[in-house]
Structure formats: C-alpha cells, structure tokens
Structure 1
Amino acid sequence: MDQVAAQELQGQEEDTQKGKYPIFVLENENYGLEIRYVTEIIGIQLITEVPELPEYIRGIINLRGKIIPVMDVRLRFKKPFKEYNDRTCVIVIDIRDVSIGLIVDSVSEVLTINKDEIAAPPDMSKGGNKYLKGIGKVGNEVKLLLDCDKLLNEEETKNLSEI
C-alpha cells in the first residue's frame, strides 16, 4: 500500500472515531472519554498491589503479558471506595505512551456526541473540574467528558511508566 492510500485509510479511521465517547458510570454520574485514547475495555482483573503508590493507583494487572497500572477513578475523584463486582470494568487507555487501566463502576454505551452538543465546563477556580474537557448534552441528560491527559500529570505518568 502506498503512503497516500495509508494516510487516507488512517484519515477514514479517525473520522469514524470522531465524536465517539465510551460512557461509564461512577455512582449516579455518567462520564465519557474520547475513544481515541481507549485501547480496550475489560472486566475487573486480579490486581497486584504495589507499595508506595498513591491510594487511587490500586496496583498493576497483567494483561496478556503486559504490566498495566490501574487507577480507581472513584478514588481519583475523591469519592468513597466501592467493592468491585461483576459490573466493574477496566478501561485501558494510552496517555503519553503509557497504558493505564481506569477502574469504573460500569460501562454503559458508546455515544456519538457532536461538537455543537458539547459545552465548556463551568469555570471553577479551585480546580474542581480540572479533569473535565467538556459537558456533553445528550437529550435531557448530561455526560461529563474527561480530559484523559489531565487524569495524570507528567510526573505521575513518568512514575507509572517505570513500574
């Protein structure tokens, strides 16, 4: 395949992913991630604890021979811990060339949300919405759209890449 055809194919792939957001649930709130960050969604796995990591980094999992740190998104957002069950999922994402698993209560669907249906997050000077990229309006509901790049700062990303 020549380079032009390969670029066209990649452009088509990006178009089919544009505006798609896997929606996951934490408590009663719906969150979305840009699908381009997501590599896969799996059920909860056996987690091996690693000492001296922040509380919200629950440990590591072995995913087909690849070691992946897992973050409990509830704990990252300062929500109470909830025991994992058969609905608990791990959304594996890539942030700055580091794979990390996000532990969420459940994944409900993949929605297409167009740019004109996304509002800017409210300005909270205290950093209360530093993880939000926007608010998706879907019918009468809202979906909080996360900024994957802000889930971990550069130092945390560097530390996790060394595990």
Structure 2
Amino acid sequence: MDMIHEAAHVARSEAARAALASQSGSEFLTFRLGAEEYGIDILKVQEIRSYEAPTRIANAPSFVKGVVNLRGVIVPIVDLRLKLGCESAEYNDFTVVIVLNVRGRVVGAVVDSVSDVLELNQDSIRPAPEMASAVDTSFITGISNVNERMLILMDIEALMASADMGLFDA
C-alpha cells in the first residue's frame, strides 16, 4: 500500500505544480483500464486511495458500485472499467479509487492501477478519431503517444457529469 500513498503524495504535489505550470503544457494523471492507458487532467484529482468495498445503493446502475464515507463526505464510487465496457473488472491490491472533484462534487473512479503523472504539450496531442454514431467518444479529448505508449486523454468531468451516469442533475 506504500505505492498508493506515494502516488497520492505525487498527485497532490503535481497538482500544486500544475497550477503554476505554463500554458504550453498540461499535466495528466495516467491510469490503466484493462489493456488501455488513459490520462485525465491532474487538477481534477483530489487524491488516490486503495479500493475498499463501498455500501451498495439499491437500483443503481451496475457501474455505480455504491458510496463510501470519506472524512465525513459521502462519495459515490463509479467503476470506470464497467462503465467503459472493459472485459473484466477484478478487485485486487492494485485496484485504486481516484477521488475527483467534478463540478464542486467529490466522486470516486475505480481503475485497475495508476501509472504516473505526465506533462504533455499541445503539439503531442492528436484529436480523437471520428467513430460511428453508436460509439460515444464525446469524453475523449485526444490521443498521445508517449514513449511507445498510446495514451487516451479523457475529459473526466464530461464523463462523470453525463446524463447516463445519474450523478448530477440535468
């Protein structure tokens, strides 16, 4: 679990540094969902925690795992692996919850593992490909290749606030 605490410390210090960073680059927290690697704006990340089984909410969609009490705040927990259609969603020692601040609310996102924090300049980010109308790519902001890694950049606020999540009023 030391890795999780270290990652949380890194995320906090990186978030502070990102606030002072120049406009030329943005910092992203990278994480894995199945075989894919994603990146989200580090400024949306409040902390990174080890996974603990939440209290289930009746009639919630399967990807809403329930709620946890985080220092007096009741936080909904969304399993992004289930929401985004990953083949499996195992809960093990690497499974973590990225605690996000989205539209003034705290929300937890379950991911397979957290990788690192990367600074990307706009030149290294390519637009997301156009897909058939059956595939919702509205939350994908771009694609970047970093050291032979394909990184899918995601607007986590748009995803979490989408109507089908049911976390925010329309």
State how many pairs are aligned: 149
Aligned to 1:78: 85
User: Could you state the TM-score of these two structures normalised by the residue count of structure 1?
Assistant: 0.83
The question of 1:21 aligning with 2:31 is answered no
Q: Which aligned pairs between 1:8-157 and structure 2 lie closer than 5 A?
A: 14-16=19-21, 19-126=26-133, 127-152=135-160, 153-154=162-163, 156-157=166-167
Asked if the contact 2:98/2:108 (under 8 Å) is kept, the reply is: yes
Q: Distance in 1 between matches of 2:168 and 2:125?
A: 31
User: Could you state the TM-score of these two structures normalised by the residue count of structure 2?
Assistant: 0.79
Q: What whole-Å deviation, never above 9, does each CA across 1:97-152 have from its counterpart, x for those lacking one?
A: 12110000000111111111111100113234222111122132210011112213
Asked if the contact 2:76/2:107 (under 8 Å) is kept, the reply is: yes
Q: CA RMSD in A?
A: 2.1
5+ residue gaps, structure 2, are 1-15
Kindly provide the amino acid, as one letter, of the partner of residue 137 in structure 2: N
